[in-house]
Amino acid sequence: MTAPAIDARAERSQQELRQLRRRLMLTLRYVALIIFAILFLFPIAWSFINSIKLPSEALAVPPTYLPSQISLKNYEELTTYGKIGIAQHVYNSTVVALITVAGSVILSTLGGYGFARFDFPAKNVLFVMVLSTLMIPFQSILIPLFVMIVRIDLHDTLFGLSLVYITFQLPFGIFLMRNSFLAVPHEIEESALLDGCSSLSILYRLMLRLVLPGIVTVAIYAFINSWNEFLAALIFMSDQDNFTLPVFLTTIRYGIWGDVNWGALQAGVIVSIIPSLVIFLALQRYYMDGLMGGAVKN
Amino acid sequence: MHKQTALLNLSWEQRRKLTGLLFVLPTVAFVTVFFIIPLIMTIYMSFHDWPLFGERAHIGLENYQELGKDRQYLKSLDFTFRYTALVTPPIFILGFILASLVRRNIPYIGIFRTIFFLPVVIGLGVSSLLWVWMLDDRIGVFNKILLDLNLVPKAQLFLGRPNTAMNVIILSVVWKTVGFTMILLLAGLQAIPDELYESAEVDGAGYFRKLIYITLPLMRRFIALALILSVIGSVLSFDQFYIMTRGGPRNSTISIVFWIFNNSFTYFKMGYGAAMSIVLLGILVALTGLQLYVLREKD
Amino acid sequence: MYSRKSIQLVLALVLILGSLPLAAQDDQINMTMWVRAINFQTQELVDQWNANNDSQIELTVIPSGEFVTKMGAAIAAGEPPDIASIDLIYTPAFASAGQLVDITEFVRALPYADDLTPAHMNLGLYEGRNYAVPTAVDGSFMAFNVDLFEQAGLDPENPPSNWDEFLEAARAINDLGDDIYGYWFSMGCAGCNAFTFLPFIWASGGDVLSDDYSEATIADDPIVREALELYNTIWEEGLVPEGASIDNGSNFVSAFTGGNIGMAPLGNFALSLFYNDHPDLNFDIFHIPGKDGGAASFGGGDVIAIPSGTEHAEEAWRFIEWTMSDDPQIEIYAANGQIPVRLALVDNKYFEGDERQSIAASALAVGHTPYTTVYNDLFNDPNGPWLEMLQVAILDGDIDGALELGQERFTQIMEG
């Protein structure tokens, strides 16, 4: 280290230089961030812009950059598209998502509590069995699932599809909820146990509040994953009336013997993006917690 | 009445055990019915000629032998691995760049993190619909921009040629998934103490030296995790090919899952589809094994 | 606790109430009919039947892609429709799986049995027994733009009758301008090209399947190679718009209505569309030619059949027989521009004076339809070998590779 008195001016100018460099780097960083942000937002923004063009303008060749007139006609057309209209498909997706959320939350909370706080025979075996689902993706067991769902007469039902979705939310949910319960200090339950409360009422009255963040995380993932899922919905649903949103949107893409209604398709894309987006933006912290808890720790 | 007395007679400990078992029972039942049984059935079905309707027949290993002769299956395997090899580096590199950019807590950085992550919460099916439209030769915005900037002489059929189809699909998938990799790598970056960099700077280390000697080694777990999750996701891909190219052109973009889907639910050769699923399962178990190995080694 | 009596009372009430509507309709037969796509003649047929008969028919549309699965599932579950209008190419698959009622005796009793469109009757035949009769007739042919023909100095009265003339006509029209093209094909659509490209091969005496439909003849038949070369030439010379190479069929019909396409292979279904939506389109049609002359057509459309397990087979047949009788054939079919299913009725008052209709109808005489239970996997599937073979040969110019892969994958599928 140099003595401060020797060359104060050189020191100062060097400090200024360093500061200048730092500021320049910061500016460059922001420039890069803004460019990337524009690129990342562009597809969504472009889809939105086209969804509010007039239907005729949305089909223009070549396309226009900005709408000459703002119109909700594309959204209106969606309400009657393919005779059934989008409302039915929004309803289908919502029902499936809500059943999946409810099922995943209830099962994960019960199961997570059981695995975290109780000792019982074959506990470890069962825990590994549940988690092993993580390693084997559902794509590889779709065929027997389909055969089974047909056999128990749940083929082409929203409920049947939800059951499949719940199953594939479970390993993540159990893992997360077990960790949530493990993080709660034992002392809190012990006094209640001594008071003779039943396990279920302890869970309900005492613990639920403490593991609420975990529950919210499980619910968000269950919602977004089931809302967005495509392959299983494509296979398990055969009646057009039962199509979920993503499957319905692909039918617009493959308009047969006629031109594809691209304006309506973009309106549909926006409709299907909004719920996930709103939930994510509102509950971002819980979503990221889940990502870190679920992915990194294991 | 009998049961209740029996329950009352149990010791406290026994009752705890029973209660615990009851708590996990619904989960175990679900996993058994919708996972374990189908898994076993997949194996069983793969030894059968199993049409959707009509007679089934046990045919031993015939389905597996058939795989080697199935030209499209081999093509699909090749395609899936090629796609995985091509899509992983851009996701990883861009993910790393973005993670480095959003690492420091400078003003408004949360907004940028959110923006880069946004496409992840959009479904892959929906994002594919969005991209296939942007890539269209007539009404697509990419051709419009390229033509307006005089970068191409005429509209390009991006999805019409096997090579360009692969490239533009990769572009769309990178947009959709890179935010996920970014967050994983960001967690890794933030786990590295600043002091390490500071002392390296004192020693006169430049950006690349710091990258190679500090950043990458200390992030190994996170890098391995990001890579493997991305690889598994790519091996299982289906939505983007089904929606953007329908497997074309020249059946050049049919992934393994796509071909399993076709055989099982279009040609109704479910036994054959099951055999292919078992092979896919083998590949994935190997990849997961690799993941566990890489992650464990460090500790 | 409820007394036993009150439960019995409730039960009895439920039974009585439940049986009331049944009793009221006891003598009335309600039938369901499945179609793969609503067209006006089916709707009209059912409406007229319901207006004039005690038995009532309810029409349900099942999208083409799901028809096979749904029929199978419904029959397996014991709840089949009573009548089904099926894409004729699937009839062998349904009949061979025992999913249709044998109607041989009914058919034999028809005075005009031998006059029904042969392609449809042939497809409805399984092991010598009849399982279906025609209900919608749709042959492929070539449509051409008369104005463009005249501008290019071609004679619309003498359209091409062999491949050389066809190619020359396409070139001449193509030379008219940058935005004008000689020809159109939807090279991303498997079914479209089975319907319109196979006739080029058939008209020249070739085929992709052996006569008994037991094996693929792609690699052995020189005509297949030549036909692929013809289309490859059309592509390489730029006689079709570039976008045709990836069109998944959404422009199969509409491309020609733009007015800048000289010729496009289409079918009867397009005629009524042209008449109704594009009355100004100055077009005419000719048969899809063979290499050195000759003509062929893909005999497409729907047959009508009675699924196994229905309780109303007799009444269903009564409806089917009525649809083929004179009055509906003339006043519903021909009046709507649809070809009657009986060849003798093609000369009718509605078709008189419109030569296009009689040419379209005469295509049926040269109509041909592959008879195979794996038709869908071979020809219609967008990921099947047919489309891949065409794309590799026509768009990439790799004809040897295309023939080899076509032969191999056809054989693999047919051996099942």
Query: Residue-wise over C197-229: b if at least 16 C-beta within 10 A, else e?
Result: bbbbbbbbebbbbeeebeebbbbebebbbbbbe
Q: Report the alpha-carbon distance of residue B237 to residue B284 in Å, rounded.
A: 13
Residue C313 and residue C30 in contact, taking contact as beta carbons nearer than 8 Å: no
| ipTM of the complex in this document | 0.89
Segment C203-229, tens digit of pLDDT: 999 999 999 889 999 999 999 999 999
Same domain, A34 and A100: no
Q: pLDDT tens track of chain C, all 416 residues?
A: 445 555 555 555 554 444 444 444 456 889 999 988 666 678 889 999 999 999 999 888 776 666 776 777 777 667 789 999 998 988 998 888 888 999 999 999 999 999 998 889 999 999 999 999 999 888 899 999 999 999 999 999 999 999 999 999 999 999 999 899 999 999 999 989 999 999 999 999 999 999 988 999 999 999 999 999 999 999 999 999 999 998 888 788 888 998 999 999 998 888 877 887 888 899 999 999 999 999 999 988 899 999 988 899 999 999 999 999 999 999 998 888 788 999 888 888 888 877 788 788 878 777 889 999 889 889 988 899 999 999 999 999 999 999 999 999 999 999 87
Q: Chains that contact A by 3+ CB pairs under 8 Å? A: B, C
Cβ of C191 under 8 Å from any chain B Cβ? no
- On whether any CB of chain A is under 8 Å from the CB of B38, the answer is yes
Q: Which chains touch C (3 or more CB pairs under 8 A)?
A: A, B
Put simply, whether B243 touches C (Cβ < 8 Å) is no
Say if B271 is an interface residue toward chain C (CB within 8 Å).
no
Boundary (domain end) residue, out of A42, A57, A74:
A74
User: Does the CB of A266 have a partner CB in chain B at under 8 Å?
Assistant: yes
Q: Letter for the amino acid at B130?
A: L
Please name the amino acid found at residue A295: A
The domain total for chain A is: 2
Clarify whether residues A245 and A262 are in a common domain.
Answer: yes
Q: Which fold has domain B62-298?
A: MetI-like fold (1.10.3720)
* A227: its two tokens: 């809302």
| Residue A235 forms part of a structural domain | yes
Angle at C89 between CA C350 and CA B63, to 5 degrees: 170
C248 contacts in chain A (CB < 8 Å): 254
Q: Is residue A3 in some structural domain?
A: no
How many other C-beta atoms can be found within 10 angstroms of the C-beta atom of residue B220?
A: 14
Q: Which residues contact A169 (CB under 8 A, 6 or more apart)?
A: A100, A103, A104, A108, A218, A221, A222, A225, A226
Contact A259 C250 (CB under 8 A): yes
In angstroms, the separation between the Cα of residue A190 and the nearest Cα of chain B is: 13
Q: What CATH number corresponds to the domain at position A253?
A: 1.10.3720.10
Same domain, A257 and A166: yes
pLDDT grade for B6, boundaries at 50, 70 and 90:
low
Same domain, A86 and A54: no
Q: Are residues A61 and A195 in the same domain?
A: no
Q: How far apart are CA C253 and CA C196, in angstroms?
A: 12
Which of C 223-242 lie inside 8 A of B, CB atoms? 242
Tell me the two tokens of residue B205. 């280390």
CA C235 distance to own-chain centroid: 26
Neighbours of chain B (3+ CB pairs under 8 A): A, C
- A219 and A208 housed in the same domain: yes
Are A24 and A113 members of one domain? no
A118 and A254 housed in the same domain = yes
Give the single-character DSSP code of C280.
T
- Select from C390, C407, C409 the least CA-distant residue to C221: C407
| Residue A18, domain extent | 8-74
Sign, CA torsion C39/C40/C43/C44: negative
With a CB cutoff of 8 Å and minimum separation 6, the contacts of A168 are A133, A138, A225
Cβ C250–A260 below 8 Å, yes or no?
yes
On whether any CB of chain C is under 8 Å from the CB of B266, the answer is yes
Angstrom distance (rounded) from CA A77 to CA A173: 39
Nearest by Cα to C298 from C363, C251, C220: C363
A43 touches chain B (CB under 8 A): yes
Q: Which domains does chain C have, with CATH numbers?
A: 30-138+300-367 (3.40.190.10), 140-295+373-415 (3.40.190.10)
Chain B residues closer than 8 Å to C381 by CB: 262, 266-267
pLDDT digits (tens, 9 = 90+) for C232-276: 999 999 999 999 998 888 788 888 998 999 999 998 888 877 887
* Domain membership flag for residue A51: yes
Indicate the residue among A31, A51, A74 that finishes a domain: A74
* Residue A141 is assigned to a structural domain of this protein: yes
Are residues A141 and A64 part of one domain? no
Using a CB-CB distance cutoff of 8 angstroms, which residues of chain A are in contact with residue C253? 257
Residue whose structure tokens are 């947009």: B175
Residues A186 and A291 in one domain: yes
Q: Based on the domain organization, do A233 and A280 belong to the same domain? A: yes
Please tell me the distance in Å from A266's CA to the nearest CA on chain B. 7
Of A74, A104, A127, the residue that ends a domain is: A74
DSSP-derived secondary structure for C307-360: BTT-S-HHHHHHHHHHHTSHHHIIIIIGGGTPPPSBGGGGS-TTTTT-HHHHHH
Let me know whether A60 and A115 are in one domain. Answer: no
Which residues of chain A neighbour C191 with C-beta distances below 8 Å? none
8 A C-beta contact, residue C201 and residue C223: yes
